[in-house]
Chains A and B, each alone.
Chain A
């Protein structure tokens, strides 16, 4: 058994470093950027100025549609449409790019709601206090509201990231040689599915455990100001 593990491990680690981890990190970064933008578009009430108000409402409709589409359809189907479907209208994507796009859009849709709820959870009192001191809406968001929202959003965002790491295994279905795909290929040769898939599962668990540890660290750091936290 150890022999099989030792001979197949290097190949799987290469796949992990080459595809699984980069895919998760890149998609999470893009997803997070999308999520913040989407959340802000839905969260901020437009000013009464008509030149700003109507374009803003259009943006908001797009944001709502985007979140609806990606939360209402399966991730695997989204990946199939992007990679296998789009060529029908002349959009041929590299599998890795297709995967990044799919995972980013999917993560962004879910995380945008996490961030929006975190923004909503900061009390109106904080806005009042900032406005009375003369802060603009933008300054209030950047200096006062977002820093507090980050602390609240951290645990659910960690959930999203951990899910994303495991969901990258779906990329195997659009021809990417990520870790799970490699374990399938090795299984095809050595006929040890129990061992190989358990090994793959263990490797995902290791990555996710590291992320859990990172979450605890970040939570501690961002909770310094909260009563009862060890600071």
Chain B
């Protein structure tokens, strides 16, 4: 379980996360929703220390870290090995082949042998249907393929949690579906995931819990069914605002 307590993050004196506390259960898929600029990506990035909140506590089952304290290398390594991030623009390393993109961290960080890392990487590539692309460079692949590879890269580190920051926002619908199917597969396998997304269909079908954030405050934190079946007026507004068909929400 990842449990965040009283997270406060400021940019230039302005609070973008206002005392947020939230739990992300193990083996489940949690989705963070909210309008643009609500602080959802900031919250997600805080878990991986890409953003450092001013205060608050990050608890794992066996370890906790207080953001107000200075961060030792050991702690940051420990936290980053528990989590791995998948980015909106996938952020693959353009100078490395597909295989190297996936094996570079296991070899250099986990000190795995290159052979062993290759095997792990090939198994993962096989799962996402990209086995024959291992010698290509990222620029030779489509966005959907690159995102699938970046998911492999995250999985190769065998983290407890995969964090996904709008993983399909930069993809066209067909490529988006390819990626979402893989995430759905991972969810079924019991991979712990925390996803920031704008895809409501995916959130509704795949996630176990929803956290709705607006203006840096938590507005909803509960089961996915409840969120869509019994929305509060504000959530109704939000859902109506991103849908072309109002009847879809108010059924």
- Measured CB to CB, the residues of A under 8 A from B are 48, 125-126, 128-136, 139, 143-144, 147-148, 151, 224-227, 231
Contact = CB atoms under 8 A, between A and B. Distances in A.
B103 to A, nearest CB: 11
Contacts of B50: 128, 131-132
Nearest to A133: B105
B90 to A, nearest CB: 8
B81 interface: yes
B109 A132 contact: no
Of A133, A144, A225, the most chain B CB neighbours within 10 A belong to: A133
Interface residues of B, number: 33
Interface string B127-142: 0000000000111100
Nearest to B109: A134
Contacts of B89: 125
B137 A134 contact: no
A128 B84 CA distance: 11
Contact of B87 (A125, A143, A148, A226): A125
Interface stretch (B8-16, B92-100, B201-209, B214-222): B92-100
Interface in B80-124: 80-81, 83-85, 87, 89, 91-96, 104-105, 108-110
Contacts of A147: 95
6 contacts: A126-B91, A134-B81, A134-B110, A143-B108, A225-B137, A226-B139
B157 interface: yes
Interface of B: 48-50, 70, 73, 77, 80-81, 83-85, 87, 89, 91-96, 104-105, 108-110, 137-140, 150, 153-154, 157, 163
B80 A129 contact: no
Contacts of B73: 136
Give the one of B77, B87, B108 with max A CB within 10 A.
Answer: B108
B93 A129 contact: yes
Contact of B105 (A126, A134, A226, A227): A134
Contacts of B110: 134
B93 to A, nearest CB: 5
B70 A132 contact: no
Nearest to B83: A132
B124 to A, nearest CB: 14
Nearest to A224: B137
A129 B92 contact: yes
B45 to A, nearest CB: 8
A126 B48 CA distance: 15
